[in-house]
A and B are shown apart, each in its own frame.
Chain A
Amino acid sequence: MSSGVELDHITVKFGNFTAVKDATLDIKSGEFFSFLGPSGCGKTTILRTVSGFLDPSSGVVRIGGEDMAGIGPNKRPTALIFQNLALFPLMTVSENITYGLRVRGADKAARMKRADELLELIALPDQGKKLVSELSGGQKQRVAIARALAVEPKVLLLDEPLSALDLKLRQHMRNELREIQKRVGITFIYITHDQGEALTMSDRVAVMSDGEILQISDGKTIYDSPATSFVASFVGENNPMPGTITKAGKTGAVLKTAFGELRGANPHGLKVGDKAILFVRPESISLGKGAADATITSQILNVAFEGNVSHIFMKGAGKKELSVTVGRHGGAEIPAKGAKAAVSYDPGYAVVLPEGKMARE
Chain B
Amino acid sequence: MSRFIVFLLPLAVIAGFWLLSRQESKLAHDPTHKSFFQRNGAVLGIVFIALVTFWMLFLVVMPYLYMVQESFHPRLPPMKRGGPEDFLTIQQYKSFFVEPSSGNWNTLHLRAFFFSILTSVFVTAVNFAICYPLAYYMAQAGTIQKVRLLMLCLIVPYWVNEILRAFSLRLLLASKGLINQTLMGIGIIDTPIDFLGTNMGLYVGLSYAYLLIMVFPLYNAIESLDKNQIEAARDLGAPWWKIHRDVVIPYAKPGIASGCTMVFMLSAGSLAAPQFLGGPSTLWFTSIVYDFFFQAFNWPRGAAYAFILLTACIIFVLAILKLFKVSLGETIR
Contact = CB atoms under 8 A, between A and B. Distances in A.
Interface of A: 51, 53, 72-75, 78-80, 82-84, 86-90, 99-100, 102-104, 147-148, 151
B228 A82 contact: yes
Interface in B220-263: 226, 228-229, 231-239, 242, 246-247, 250-251
A100 B232 CA distance: 10
Contacts of B228: 82-84, 86
A104 to B, nearest CB: 6
A118 to B, nearest CB: 13
Residue from B231, B242, B250 with most neighbouring chain A CB atoms (10 Å) = B231
Nearest to A78: B235
B242 A103 contact: yes
Contact of A104 (B229, B232, B237): B237
A74 B234 CA distance: 5
Contacts of A103: 233, 236-239, 242, 246
A74 B228 CA distance: 14
Residue from A72, A84, A86 with most neighbouring chain B CB atoms (10 Å) = A86
Interface of B: 226, 228-229, 231-239, 242, 246-247, 250-251
Main DSSP-derived SS at the A contact region: loop
Given A79-B236, A100-B236, A103-B236, A53 B231 contact: yes
A99 B233 contact: yes
Main DSSP-derived SS at the B contact region: helix
A86 B231 contact: yes
17 contacts: A51-B235, A53-B231, A53-B234, A53-B235, A72-B234, A73-B235, A74-B234, A74-B238, A78-B235, A82-B232, A84-B226, A88-B246, A88-B247, A90-B250, A90-B251, A103-B239, A103-B246
Contact of B229 (A78, A79, A88): A88
Contact of A99 (B226, B236, B251): B236
B246 to A, nearest CB: 7
Contact of A86 (B226, B242, B246, B251): B226
A81 to B, nearest CB: 9
Nearest to A102: B246
A86 B229 CA distance: 5
Nearest to B236: A100
A80 B229 contact: no
Contact of B232 (A75, A86, A102): A86
Contacts of B251: 89-90
A82 B230 CA distance: 11
A75 B232 CA distance: 13
A286 B229 CA distance: 52
